[in-house]
Structure 1
């Protein structure tokens, strides 16, 4: 009876070639997996369609003038994500015109109905999940198990809830879409670049298409530009298998001409895009409140360093175990690491130790000398999917198999030069960079188990296995590390501690690693029972993640449920925002309790003091309201709304002179560096009109006319005249105000 190896070799000789039936089946398998993953992504997130606008959605959509048809489209390219001009000192400097443009299309189709905005988010996530599954199929050489696991994990991962359920998370989902498309285009460019001359036109189309898609990723969200780095990693480490020793030859040798061409375009595009971004941002970086990023505000170098080193480890833990999620991680949600004796430093050491080990693993298993060749990943999707003769080619040497059966299994191969006509000849002298001697693939575990090469297909199979595992690790690291670099505070401070939506693109690398790890565990299990247990464990994990995501989506349906869900993570922020919702619902007693509860955690929150003052003012508790406004101004001297309302309360209490002084001071407040300068300027105009109203009540009509004219002269373009009429109301000043308006128009004419 022939041995198992001989039977496998006999079957391989009789299998159809890749140009016919086999590759067609592979394509159908991939299409089915992509369809399943996209459908699961839709089903898990469909319950967000009934959600309302929550948290940052209100400022990005409801109060963003750039969504209105009356606003010129050119403003989208001059304003930041929140509608503030980029040149303003208080701008957030978040430049995402393509995302804002999609919001504008939503507004054109359905106004401020949140259903349409959430529908687009869910559709985009389903599309990105399918596109990622297609990428995973290429990385895993169409192996169904790791492809399905990676795709489903990405589709249902709870860390994506904020990016999908929160409308402003569209920036991350859209950037990921452009990100994956740009990488696929660059992979296609690398394949056509090394082909025959007839592919010259196609290769340039693919290259500039990749650069254009990378630009789209950056214009959707800033960290989308890191796709250029991922493309460079692919070209250098996956397509060419370069090591540091090959860098000198990269600059001069002809075989690296294509690589030099690709890298020059990537570096040039990066310089242009970064220069454009810096030019728009201006010389001064955005200012963030200390509560947004407490570590950046710390005076201790040790505290800043230890905390910034710990935060990436904490983000990775959220990918591993997304049990604790929150709409906001600012303030003391993640306590600062102030000492080297903090136990969390052990987590930091383990995280960076594992990362360094993985980098060393990649470096150790790269070939000793780089050679321009196609990776296993680059072959997927072409007509050569089932062949690997171009992997690590060495056309100068080939081997001929003299064996005729299992009895000859360990017989040495006889080298035959340039004999490419025999079906048993194989043209590789390396197995993923490891020498093949005496018919044995000497690649060490865990990359490739030593295998006796009975024929070309045997050694080729070993080479492909070695290659695609290494490709998967390299690409996973590139996705995990590069898109996350802008959030590490290494080059500039950011306005958040942790943002779950920022992990949307890095989770691509995490899901690839999980898929690869599961496949390796599955292969090394000899018992079928253990394999079934492994599959059942993965299925249970995916179900648990799906349930967690589905339930987390319910937290995002209303602002009240969202803020209640964040109490155990960020109590001061959650209680303060929850109190606003309760106050709007008329639950004044509960709202006051929530405001005071928030202040017990953090007493210097000016917004909470101001909102508490509004609540007390509505209840007629003017002295208490006045005290709340004073405390709010103490912690934030340029809080114009607190000045305005304090003037109103002073006027009600009959302290006219104090009210006049407060109104005058409010009208002179500087808006430099404020996050919402438009609202600030509108409040200053309201202070002037209230001052004029106060003069009119006292019969000082000439002073009132002067103040009204000053207000009309300083009125910004975005100030709506209707708000003026609502403020004045139908009181005794209204007829006099109309006279003033007509008089001012006549004098102007």
Structure 2
């Protein structure tokens, strides 16, 4: 397991994982540490999962091993709980129970959930999901067992019933706090009650006696548990929506292209096909990918597409199977055990076992539970009721795979029971062993893909080349392999040219290698495809500034100030990002919009209280607004942060000089000149302030230093331009004014060495 992009967002850059952040932030922030009310929040609310990350961070900080160990342990726990459920449903038959449990344990579709740190949300949700289901079954068992008892106190029965019901709703709530679709367990519980225990038929829903006390039932009303489930579901859902806020999450069209389509036909056909595609991933997980976004699964745009016909066939088969189950349930209802009253207690006379449409009673329960587990937890990810930010996510199939494993075990059990010959049974057993071995080997191979970011992204090239190459390029760039990274970025863009992130990252690469013109082009393309991409604006402004294109840079910064930059997080450009607010302030300051400039300077200091440039620029603004005391305090605070910085002394000296505090100004200019002895402007300003302070002798000395520095700088330019004799005269003039200056002496020595080489070259030619 590795520290991938999702781990970076969920762990490394998530402030809620660190113990320095307050506990209450877990309640109000999303899974990635962004406030739920923020416009950039994905509304993924999983505080319980983040809490486990926080505990991991406490004991092992960012070491991936600790996170991986916890994930493996949680998968073991989920497997054990699922094995217990399978044992109950198969009435403790060893073979089908083991088939279901081992299939769940080694299914390759689980690799992402177990090997990827973000997948912990699905495993944790499944644990509480199974605990909720187990609690509700205990409630149903209690009700059934009480039918034979007449000596149990009414209060005791009531307390037991409500204890298990409360535990069910609480576990469902905890499952939802781990991942959103955990709440669907209440639907599975309701199906268990209505279809398998209460024997509800469709026409019963319209009966006036539905809420009457059931004969022989210990529950207050016939569907007491179901009503608690409904109330619990609505209450938890209302709480979840209120915490999320009124706004729905916004997703990139590339994450779910069909959701962004204007075609009703395309959206309908595609979204009906995706559940079928997910089912085939469970059935045959040969090809897996870390990302199925963009056009990894091309949308179904025509009814004549073979995938549309495949979807129709699967849904018809599902309807036929469902109808058979409902028919079997009705026949079971008709042959329900006869109840007779004996001395106030209820005795039960069991009817004989019957078979209808191939559904014996002991397998009917497994069929219903298998379908419920397969379908209900998948509904939130299906796009059929609301859009989600992905097309396919393998980790989302962790809970639905329980239904698949139950149905697979049921199929094996039925085949085995109908196979009478010994060779036939051996072939069946060998096929099962072969399937489990194939699943195990595929899981091992897939785990190798998840061993590192590079191996994972390389494994995804076949399925999603633009996304895989783009992510692979990021890894190669971070490794210092710039040539291969550039090649990978360009390959990604060759598949999909409108990926703003890839253009932006390519711009970063060009910027790091000082290919500034190419960087500008990449940043502009990133902005073209995502106009509100603040980081692209920021870096474009930085590069324009490096090329001394100040006016263009200021225009970019001014436009950037209109964007939402509050959520900027980019480790590669951290140094630039922390200066963004200050740059925006400078842009507004030069424009003359002082109030807007002050707002951004305050944001800069809020984001980084020890950011020295923000102190200086904000101090200049306050001085212009004649808020002298506040400005003075800012300059002095900057001096405390960097006491020897020549720039701070220079700016403070300028501020003091403008306030006619010549003596103080001179002191700071002299300090600045001592720190930067080759800066002509600083030395000249020091001479001026010394003269204003009446320190004429010191002023004269600094004027000579300034003149010497001027000669030195002129000599250096002449030296570079090849005018050696004129450069020598300037160096000698500088030494006359400042005889012991080491820089001038060094430059003059290099000049004369160059003159000597040229002189020897001329002699040899003659």
TM over 0.5: yes
Match of 1:254 in 2: 214
Pairwise CA distance, 1:100: 0.6
Contact 1:688 1:708 in 2 (8 A): no
Among candidates 256, 259, 266, match of residue 293 of structure 1: 256
Match of 1:713 in 2: 602
Secondary structure at 1:365's aligned position in 2?
Answer: helix
Match of 1:689 in 2: 582
Contact 1:664 1:688 in 2 (8 A): no
Match of 2:647 in 1: 736
Match of 1:428 in 2: 350
Secondary structure at 1:210's aligned position in 2?
Answer: helix
Match of 1:225 in 2: 183
Pairwise CA distance, 1:312: 0.2
Match of 1:187 in 2: 137
Pairwise CA distance, 1:297: 0.3
Which is worse superposed, 675-684 or 539-548?
675-684
C-alpha spacing 1:480/1:75, structure 2 compared with 1 (3 Å) = same
Secondary structure at 1:736's aligned position in 2?
Answer: helix
Pairwise CA distance, 1:640: 1.4
C-alpha spacing 1:155/1:743, structure 2 compared with 1 (3 Å) = farther
Pairwise CA distance, 1:551: 1.2
C-alpha spacing 1:343/1:668, structure 2 compared with 1 (3 Å) = same
C-alpha spacing 1:711/1:734, structure 2 compared with 1 (3 Å) = farther
Match of 2:553 in 1: 659
C-alpha spacing 1:254/1:682, structure 2 compared with 1 (3 Å) = farther
Match of 1:265 in 2: 228
Secondary structure at 2:498's aligned position in 1?
Answer: coil
Among candidates 332, 339, 349, match of residue 295 of structure 2: 332
1:372-398 CA-to-partner distances (Å, cap 9, x unmatched) read: xxxxxxxxxxxxxxxxxxx9431459x
Pair 1:315 & 2:278 matched:
yes
Match of 1:640 in 2: 534
Pair 1:125 & 2:107 matched:
no
Structure 2 runs not aligned, ≥5 long = 618-637, 656-766
Pairwise CA distance, 1:368: 4.5
Among candidates 344, 347, 358, match of residue 446 of structure 1: 358
Q: Distance in 1 between matches of 2:397 and 2:377?
A: 9
Secondary structure at 1:366's aligned position in 2?
Answer: helix
C-alpha spacing 1:508/1:733, structure 2 compared with 1 (3 Å) = farther
1:124-168 CA-to-partner distances (Å, cap 9, x unmatched) read: 001100110011000001111100010000000000011111101
Q: Distance in 2 between matches of 1:738 and 1:631?
A: 41
Pairwise CA distance, 1:693: 8.4
Q: Distance in 2 between matches of 1:737 and 1:692?
A: 18
Match of 2:625 in 1: none
Contact 2:534 2:564 in 1 (8 A): no
Among candidates 501, 522, 538, match of residue 416 of structure 2: 522
Which is worse superposed, 192-201 or 709-718?
709-718
Match of 1:212 in 2: 170
Q: Distance in 2 between matches of 1:106 and 1:739?
A: 48
Pairwise CA distance, 1:205: 1.2
Structure 1 runs not aligned, ≥5 long = 1-50, 372-390, 398-416, 419-424, 435-442, 448-465, 745-749
Secondary structure at 1:327's aligned position in 2?
Answer: coil
Alignment of 1:480-519 (within 5 A): 480-519=374-413
Match of 1:47 in 2: none
Contact 2:588 2:594 in 1 (8 A): no
Q: Distance in 1 between matches of 2:173 and 2:649?
A: 52
Contact 1:179 1:227 in 2 (8 A): yes
Contact 1:103 1:117 in 2 (8 A): yes
Among candidates 294, 309, 316, match of residue 346 of structure 1: 309
Instruction: Return the structure number with greater helix share.
Output: 2
Alignment of 1:21-60 (within 5 A): 51-60=1-10
C-alpha spacing 1:707/1:263, structure 2 compared with 1 (3 Å) = closer
Alignment of 1:614-633 (within 5 A): 614-633=508-527
Pairwise CA distance, 1:203: 2.2
Higher relative contact order (CA 8 A, sep 6+): 1
Alignment of 1:530-545 (within 5 A): 530-545=424-439
Q: Distance in 2 between matches of 1:738 and 1:640?
A: 33
C-alpha spacing 1:737/1:66, structure 2 compared with 1 (3 Å) = farther
C-alpha spacing 1:535/1:723, structure 2 compared with 1 (3 Å) = farther
Alignment of 1:319-398 (within 5 A): 319-368=282-331, 370=333, 392-396=336-340
Instruction: Output the TM-score relative to the length of structure 1.
Output: 0.77
Match of 1:148 in 2: 98
Alignment of 1:68-79 (within 5 A): 68-79=18-29
1:610-641 CA-to-partner distances (Å, cap 9, x unmatched) read: 11111112222111111111111111112111
Instruction: Output the TM-score relative to the length of structure 2.
Output: 0.75
Contact 1:215 1:225 in 2 (8 A): yes
Contact 2:47 2:177 in 1 (8 A): yes
Q: Distance in 2 between matches of 1:738 and 1:96?
A: 50
Pairwise CA distance, 1:178: 0.1
Alignment of 1:402-481 (within 5 A): 427-431=349-353, 443-444=355-356, 446-447=358-359, 466-481=360-375
Which is worse superposed, 252-261 or 132-141?
252-261
Secondary structure at 1:591's aligned position in 2?
Answer: helix
Match of 1:669 in 2: 563
C-alpha spacing 1:265/1:364, structure 2 compared with 1 (3 Å) = same
Which is worse superposed, 171-180 or 342-351?
342-351
C-alpha spacing 1:131/1:71, structure 2 compared with 1 (3 Å) = same
Which is worse superposed, 158-167 or 348-357?
348-357
Which is worse superposed, 189-198 or 305-314?
189-198
Q: Distance in 2 between matches of 1:468 and 1:313?
A: 28
1:531-577 CA-to-partner distances (Å, cap 9, x unmatched) read: 01111111111011011111111111211111101001111000001
Q: Distance in 1 between matches of 2:613 and 2:138?
A: 59
C-alpha spacing 1:675/1:715, structure 2 compared with 1 (3 Å) = closer
Contact 1:192 1:200 in 2 (8 A): no
Match of 2:707 in 1: none
Contact 1:193 1:258 in 2 (8 A): no
Alignment of 1:699-710 (within 5 A): 710=599
Alignment of 1:77-116 (within 5 A): 77-116=27-66
Contact 2:212 2:221 in 1 (8 A): no
